[in-house]
Every structure is written in structure tokens, then in C-alpha cells.
Structure 1
Amino acid sequence: MSHEAKTAPLTGAGGISLSGKYLTFTLGAEEFGLQILKVREIIGYMDITAVPRAPHDVRGVINLRGQVVPIVDMRARFEMEAAEVTDQTCIIVVEVKAGKHSFHTGIIVDQVCEVLDIDGKDIEPTPQFDGSVDTSFILGMGKIGSAVKILLDIDKVLHTRELAQLTENT
């Protein structure tokens, strides 16, 4: 007879289950996941038009079939070392919600990996650090075999006043 404690599936804000499909991507050696329902499309890296006085992690904008989309460098957003653009570098266009409004933003990632169906029982809460590390943008830690994927709340990762203003002005 097993005496293991049964844990309820992890839930996000508002008690919504975190179980579901996640698009995984890499930044350096780390693997991250986004809820697939936030992903609008994946495109190859393309020329980006710089926007003067944009925040350091906003590389500029692209014209995506007539829609101007701001582009955020995820390495810069997470204060990681810059990397060369390769054939694997992609832009993931996501829908970001900010209050009652939503807008599309592209994020530059090193490589798109796969879509995973992650059960809530395989998602651990974000570890508690000593308070010096902001983890408010992390939904949880997805355990896939012996690997751990950092599951992101892309709304919290990308929502900044500057990005919202840039989107309104385009």
C-alpha cells in the first residue's frame, strides 16, 4: 500500500488549471514553455525595424501581413548574454492581454522545440528564492522525464507600460 501524498494539480490565477499544451523553446541551455493558446504563429527570423528610444529589450517592429508587430528579444528581457542569429532563431507571435486590451507581440527565441501536453500533476510550483529573484512571471515548473521546463506567464513577461504604448502607437 502506497503512502505517497496525493497533490492536486497546480492552478494559476483564478484557479485555472495549468494542465494543457505548451510550445517549448530554448534560450541558451534553458528550455521554456508557453501555453499554446497564447501562440498566434511562428515565423523565421526576419529584418526588424528599430524604434528610437524603445526599451533595451524591444528590438523594434516588423510588418506581418500588414500588421505592425513589436518584437521583444527574450534574451535581453531575461538579462541573458546576447547570441548570434542562426537558422534556428525564430519569432513566436503571441497574444498578450493587458487589462481589457490584448495585442500581438513577437518574441525572439533561439529555437522552437516542440508542443508538449503537460498534465497538472507534472507541474510544480515555482521554487521560493530568498526574495531577490522575481518569479512572478513563472506559472510553474514542468517536469518532463528528468528535464524541467520553465512555464511562463507570457502576459506578465511582456506587459510593460512601454510595450503597451508602442503597440498603441503602431
Structure 2
Amino acid sequence: MENGTSVTRKMIIFQLEDEEYAIPVNHIGSIERLLPITRVPQTAPFVKGVINLRGVVIPVIDLRLRFQMKEAVLNDNKRIIIALINEMEVGLIVDSANDVIDIREDQIESPPAVIGTIDADYIDGIAKIDNRLLILLNLLTVLSFEELDKIQSLEV
């Protein structure tokens, strides 16, 4: 941080249950309304299926189920965040996508071992901004290479 400038990360904020999460904007392709999801047999429970987004078939995972939270009813309030994980587009179902903010590096703390049911492996850090506590996700660990490989090979 030379010359008194602090490095910031532009993050998209989204919600699961009562928690707010953040992922870097540069990992995001778009945020979509809930689209029809085609189930795919023999996938992990958190893999909801695939969507057809402007002619591209994209696998969709339910982040609530991935983090072992209670499954929510899918309705018009839900959003699908199209994220790029290891050069692969994956849809992430979230309760809502709230806003885009800049988070300064000095606002980010190391994650505790566990936050609720979410394993620390998935967390890059915790940001305290005003009265908000934001959990910064590491998308590269949310899905393992094996899981990404399986999802990528989904036959529709």
C-alpha cells in the first residue's frame, strides 16, 4: 500500500439464509433470474441440474445444499449467479444477490475455523463493513476438481 492508497477488491454480495457472502466480480459472468432447471440423474444432491442460458448449457448447484443448509423453495426471488470456476461456467443458486461493493484489504480478516456449517476451506476471509459481516468465498474450493470434472461431463 504505497503512497497511502489501499488495495480494494470489487465483490458481489449475495445472501444464503441470514448470512451475507461475497465473491469477486471478476469471477462473475452474470446474475440471472431463476430459469427452468433440467435434472440430471446420478449427480451429487447439491447439483440441481443444468440450464440453457442463451444457447449455452450450464450446470447449476444449490449453494445452500453445498454448505449443508436447509434446502429452500425455489421461487422468483432466487437468483443464479453465473460464475467462472477453473475456466468453467457454473450457476450458483442463491437466495438473493444484493449489491456490488469495494472491500479494502485492511477490512478483511482471516477466517475462523468454522462459520456455522461452512467449512473454513471455502472461506477466503471475513470482512467487517459498517454493521455487516461478509463471508468472502473462495470459489476454487467450493467445488473440488473431481466435482468440477463430474459436472463438466454431465450428459444432457
Instruction: Please classify the TM superposition score into its range, dividing by the shorter chain length.
Output: 0.7 to 0.9
Match of 2:17 in 1: 28
Q: Indicate which of 43, 63, 66 corresponds to 1:77.
A: 66
After superposition, where does 1:128-143 map in structure 2 within 5 Å?
128=113, 134-143=119-128
- Give structure 1 regions of 4+ aligned residues with deviation exceeding 4 angstroms: none
Q: Which has the higher strand share?
A: 2
Give the AA of the match of 1:117. D
Q: Is the Cα contact below 8 Å between 2:126 and 2:135 reproduced in 1?
A: yes
Given candidates 72, 89, 95, the residue that maps to 1:104 is 89
Per-residue CA deviation, residues 97-149 of structure 1 (Å, 9 max, x unaligned), is 1xxxx2000000000000010000000110135xx973111010011112110
Structure 1 residue 23: Cα displacement? 0.2
Q: Which runs of 5+ in 1 are unaligned?
A: 1-7, 9-16
Q: Give the AA of the match of 1:109.
A: V
Q: In the superposition, relative to structure 1, how do residues 93 and 18 fare at CA in structure 2: closer, same or farther (>3 Å)?
A: farther
Counterparts of 1:95 and 1:71, CA distance in 2: 12
Q: Structure 1 residues 49, 142: CA separation in 2 closer, same or farther (over 3 Å shift)? A: same
Determine the C-alpha separation between the residues in 1 that align with 2:24 and 2:123: 12
Which of 38, 48, 55 is residue 59 of structure 1 equivalent to?
48
Q: Which runs of 5+ in 2 are unaligned?
A: none
Does the CA contact (< 8 Å) of 1:88 and 1:112 recur in 2?
Answer: no
Highest Rg: 1 or 2? 1
Q: CA deviation at 1:165?
A: 2.4
Structure 2 Cα separation of the partners of residues 64 and 104 of structure 1: 11
Measured after TM superposition, the shift of residue 166 of structure 1 is 2.4
Number of residue-to-residue matches in the alignment:
149
User: Is 2:113–2:119's contact at 8 Å kept on the other side of the alignment?
Assistant: no
CA distance in 2, matches of 1:70, 1:92: 11
Contact 1:34 1:154 survives alignment (8 Å): yes
Q: CA separation in 1, counterparts of 2:66 and 2:8?
A: 26
